[in-house]
A and B are shown apart, each in its own frame.
Chain A
Amino acid sequence: MEKTSRLTQLPAELRYIQYEHGLEEQYLPAIRALISKDLSEPYSIYVYRYFLYQWGHLCFMALDPADSSLKGVIVCKLETHASHSPATLRGYIAMLAVSAAYRGHGVATSLVKRAIDAMAQRNADEIVLETEESNIPAMRLYERLGFLRSKKLHRYYLNGSSAYRLVLVLKPFDPDAAADLALDSPPIAAA
């Protein structure tokens, strides 16, 4: 997949900063470019703003200290998950990207950890995400941190490949309080 050669060593410790709305003009084009690089179909600007405007505090960027250019980014949201009873506060990692040359140095892990911390501070019950079943590096990254695969999603992506839902639970689960199983889909209905 990656033709760009990786750096054997990072030039310097990257600088991690939290996104805020004021940085949009400076960083949104770079965020879009970095994320859409590996996508067959780009997201419109509305998708980025949907996340960044509402949950900029859950977006973190890894910057090159020399020129403040963007080398990695994570975009998340945190919302009440309504199909639960009682509702849970569910974090969602929507996008994660690291510039090809900077991969393999724990940049993505640092970004994810920051996002987890930020969501945990805001009282998240759990954090979820989807990843393509063939994306072994991403799954390894998340599973090393403590995420579990909770279910497989058949042909989830545009290219027809399946995904895993990964879940990190931050707070104990109360079985008596749960009417739903966090398994999103409604029970099968007979036609």
Chain B
Amino acid sequence: MESQGLHNVSQDGYNSYQLYDSEPPPPPQISSQGIIAFDITQRFLNAAKTLEPGTLVKDGYFSLMESVGSIEIMDPKMDSGCLAPGESLDEDYDVTKPLTADQALGIIDQLLCHEVSRGPAIVRCEEPNKKQMAWHLGYPLSQTLFTNVYIEALLMPFPQTINEAHFLRNGEGAVDYDAMNKNPVASILRAYCLGLLKSCHFVNERIKSEHYYEEEDFVTNTYHRSLLDHINLQDIRDALSNASLLTYKRRDLIPQDIAEALGYRLELREEFLRAIELAAENGQQPAALEAPWDHMEMLWEAINKSHSLGTPVPEAFSTKIQRKLASTMPPRPIVQLSFEEANSHFKRLFLDGKEVVKVLDFKDSQSLLNFVLLFQAKKPQPLVYIRTLLQSYLFRDMVILGTLSIRHVLDNDLSIVTMPCSRLLDPANDEIELPSDPRFTMAQQMELFRQRAAQSYLDIFRAFCQNRCRIRRTLCHSIQDWETVQVDAEEIDQQLQPYTQEVPVSWPRANSPPAQRLPLSSWAYLYKLRLMEWIVQLGFELDIYAPDELAGMYWYLSHLARTRAQHIERIKTFTIQIVADLERRSVTVSPEDQDKYDMSICYLHMALLDATVTRELADALSCLYTALLRLDLIVPPPRPCSTDELRYDIRMKPFAPIGLPELPSFETFTQATQQADVPTTKLLDIADEAVANAKKILEVLKKREPDAVFTHGSHDRWVAATANGQRSAIATGLAVMVLRKALKGAPDGKNLPFKVEFKAPDKRYHEFWNVPSLVPKK
């Protein structure tokens, strides 16, 4: 692509031949019917000579990614095939050498460390002044399991059958029984590797079949190595049980404690395969799904305790194997994860694997949403395999939780949120075949609505199964989708209005003109508002906002929550009106319908409290941050290359296309945030009052039963999150108090003896509430 590249080909190419004291090879013979070959070497060299070194010859499709993907052959840092003088291409490690049992244990434990560090990362153009960070979780097979010489020998040459899947093979590629008899520990290690590779295959396939981000969340590349997908699972199970037997039979060779330790590890492989297998089957009972995870938790205790019995064999792992993998990737180091780190990751994996099963216990759509929100908000976030498992439980084959239709969940949600016992949700409407019957139209229009809204609705669940950064980015797009869902829903609302027999209600005031209920578009609007709030809240969680932006962003959050509260009030007014109307007319309501009305009113009440808490606490923090800005305790950077208005544009870009609620103008936003006409002490009064309100509501919410707050399956997490919200409110109140005291001592507000410190998101009481600490200056 580049002329210097071509020069290199010509010059360096010849130079390297000179090194070997030989001529370049003759051109290949090309003769085939219908092909007339020309030797263009000389023309090519002549053309290349007319170019200056460094000239770029490229077409318009040559992109940065392609240039980043290129490597320089024979540069040892880029070319994994480059050998140092005297270096051999292959690893000298002899896999046929008899292993002691403690060595096998050491290798297995190293493989465990590699297994849990599987995952992402690739180079992109990057800032060079960076620190080399500690190794994180998550690297490709090439830097983890595929660096093991036993796995390499087992997978290459490609094993057609289970018998060939061994690192001890004879000249024909089949298992070398002679070598095996001399080396019984090898059978144990081999069985372990078989189980490991097979489970890697299943994990890879599960992840690939759900929504995830390649390289960012996980690297599914297997570099043309098989993960034993073609080998029968039962054969691998047999190999594992035979190996377990061997640990008993060969006590002559294997000391008891090590034999037991190996046994736990083999059992872990069997259980992991079982967990994966069960999860892939439809209609499993939650208890059955939880069992293998439970068992693995127990096994892990024993594995962790017996880790010290093993003897590490570092020479059984080599980056040289990367040369043989189908990849142009530069040589990369083996990822070194300590067993302690692996320990905590495995523990979490098993715990999360068990907990995620609880999602299957469906009670109502709002509890389901809360489960997903709270489970995914865990810190650290569940591993990608668990996140894809959750997706598969949720959506596999378009059957929700393996048993429910999308319509069932969607109608359940509509019933809870905006239209309990509505005629529009009556399944009997579907049976009507007479087009002139209103029920026919209702069924038809509702189907139209479901087709329009179902995907957007399910996408909320799927979005929250992604990594935290992606959730926010995805929601930024989703709000535009919900904007159109709302518009389309309003059209359907209008069409259906004559059939629903709902009386218009004066809104927002008693003397306002009567308004329509618009249940479908009200539902869509409520979700859009929640999505918008989540985007801002995730901005706090991901530390997107600069310190001097916090006052404004908390104001905007409060503005959105206020809008949501008003909207919930509207929905509630209509629902209560309908119930009151039934009572007034002494209509007998079936207990079933009464439950639905109660449930909806209960939901709206809870949602109103939730929106109010967000509004109050966001208000308090906005006032506090405005005060800190006024008192120069937060000082904006000079920003010579930018203006406040341009930054407002970029900050609010995701919200700009949204018509309702309309993005406040820059002037409105600035006035609302700065509150120039409010004295600082008054700002602190407002903050205090808002904190008090938030604390009160949180206290009420915290004591509610799961049914009242729609947290079936995740109530403990919800109580903990609510308590953390409370702590954030208390901390905000404390900061306000400290500031107020200091201001009393220095009414001019000059040189207050504090500095403002911020906590990293994972150190906060709650990630959404970035409460400043006022630390005395020394």
Contacts and interface: CB of A to CB of B under 8 A. Distances in A.
A151 to B, nearest CB: 6
B217 A173 contact: no
A132 B131 contact: yes
B250 interface: no
Nearest to B650: A169
Contact of A38 (B2, B129, B462, B663): B129
A64 interface: no
User: What secondary structure prevails in chain B residues at the interface with A?
Assistant: loop
Nearest to A171: B646
A181 B653 contact: yes
Contacts of B217: 154-155
A41 B77 contact: yes
A5 to B, nearest CB: 17
A113 B642 CA distance: 12
Contact of B213 (A25, A39, A149, A154): A154
A46 B63 CA distance: 11
Interface string A78-103: 00000000000000101111100000
A10 interface: no
A187 B139 CA distance: 26
A111 to B, nearest CB: 12
Interface in A137-189: 137-138, 140, 143-164, 167-173, 175, 178, 181-189
B626 interface: no
The number of chain A residues touching the other chain, given as a range, is: 35 or more
Contacts of A172: 645-646, 649
A180 to B, nearest CB: 9
B468 A154 contact: yes
A10 B459 CA distance: 56
A28 B759 CA distance: 42
Contact of B472 (A94, A113, A151, A160): A151
A66 interface: no
Contacts of A188: 211, 459, 462-463, 466, 474, 477-478
Interface in A107-123: 108, 113, 116
B481 A187 contact: yes
Nearest to A184: B473
Contacts of A171: 646
Interface string A42-77: 111111011011100000000000000000000001
Contacts of A132: 126-127, 130-131, 133
A39 B133 CA distance: 11
B126 A157 contact: yes
A155 B56 contact: no
A18 interface: no
B107 to A, nearest CB: 24
Contacts of B749: none
30 contacts: A25-B53, A46-B1, A47-B125, A50-B56, A50-B62, A97-B128, A108-B129, A113-B641, A135-B131, A146-B642, A148-B549, A149-B543, A152-B544, A155-B120, A155-B215, A156-B124, A157-B130, A159-B121, A159-B133, A159-B135, A160-B135, A164-B544, A169-B642, A172-B649, A181-B657, A188-B477, A189-B211, A190-B458, A190-B459, A191-B391
Interface of B: 1-2, 4-5, 52-56, 62, 64, 67-68, 70-72, 75, 77-78, 119-133, 135-139, 209-211, 213, 215-217, 330, 332, 391, 395, 455, 458-459, 462-463, 466-470, 472-474, 476-478, 480-481, 542-546, 549, 637-642, 645-647, 649-651, 653-654, 656-657, 663
Interface of A: 1, 21, 24-25, 28, 35-47, 49-50, 52-54, 77, 92, 94-98, 108, 113, 116, 126, 129-132, 134-135, 137-138, 140, 143-164, 167-173, 175, 178, 181-191
7 nearest interchain CB pairs? A146-B642, A160-B136, A175-B656, A50-B67, A146-B639, A53-B56, A154-B469
